[in-house]
Amino acid sequence: MKIVETYSHLNGLEFLLVHQPALWKELKAVVADVDAEACKTKVSKEKTMAGKMLYSPIAMNQAFKERLGANGWNESQVGYWVTKDARLIRQTLTLPADEQKRQIEAVGEMPIYSYNQTDFVKERVAVEIQFGKYAFVAYDLFVKHLAFFVGDRIDVGIEILPMKSMQSQMSSGVAYYEGELYNVVRQGRGVPAVPLVIVGVDA
């Protein structure tokens, strides 16, 4: 595969180029090492593309997982405590998890444990490979990356998406770079409040 486009949100790419150039170079090498054509293993059952060979999200995800794992990118979780009181959540959400729980209990509310998980984190950089349905991208950008950033676990998040030209050779409903770029830009320059690099790839 190859990187066709990148979008830097809140100077995410600039941060990588200055503070983590080796990681950015490594990630580009991982993308280049994935053979997209070898992942064209899904036989379409959709009426408009019946019998056509499509790029398989499962195969592409596995190819990225193997290569990122071999380079030391590992799964990570960030845990936190929630409650039904919005005011209390605002007061505690930037605190360490143990302190969140203590403060929620201190006012007589019930703390509920929750967490977000990211598949690939290395040296405070998170990567999400997203060849799935478009709704998952919004969750990555506005929940996962943001939660890890607010929790001081990462400095920047990277979202890898297919370009429209590649997505058109996949099952319907898969997110694509141009569409998700529009969604981010539409929110305004400061939303989501986490430095990001959105990456568009193609075969």
Instruction: Tell me the pLDDT tens digit for each residue of 28-38.
Output: 999 999 999 99
Confidence (pLDDT) at 173: 86
Q: Where are the domains of the chain?
A: 2-75+118-202
State pLDDT tens for residues 60-101: 999 999 999 999 999 998 889 999 999 999 999 889 899 999
pLDDT given for residue 17 in this prediction: 98
Q: What tokens were used for 152?
A: 């001081």
How far is Cα 131 from Cα 133, in angstroms, rounded to an integer? 7
What is the signed CA dihedral for 103, 106, 109, 115, rounded to 10 degrees? 30
Pick 2-75+118-202's CATH classification: 3.10.20.30, 3.10.310.10, 3.40.50.280, 3.40.91.20. 3.40.91.20
Span 15-37, mean pLDDT?
Answer: 97
The structure's pTM equals 0.89
Rounded to 5°, angle at Cα 60 from 179 and 183: 15
What tokens were used for 36?
A: 């997209």
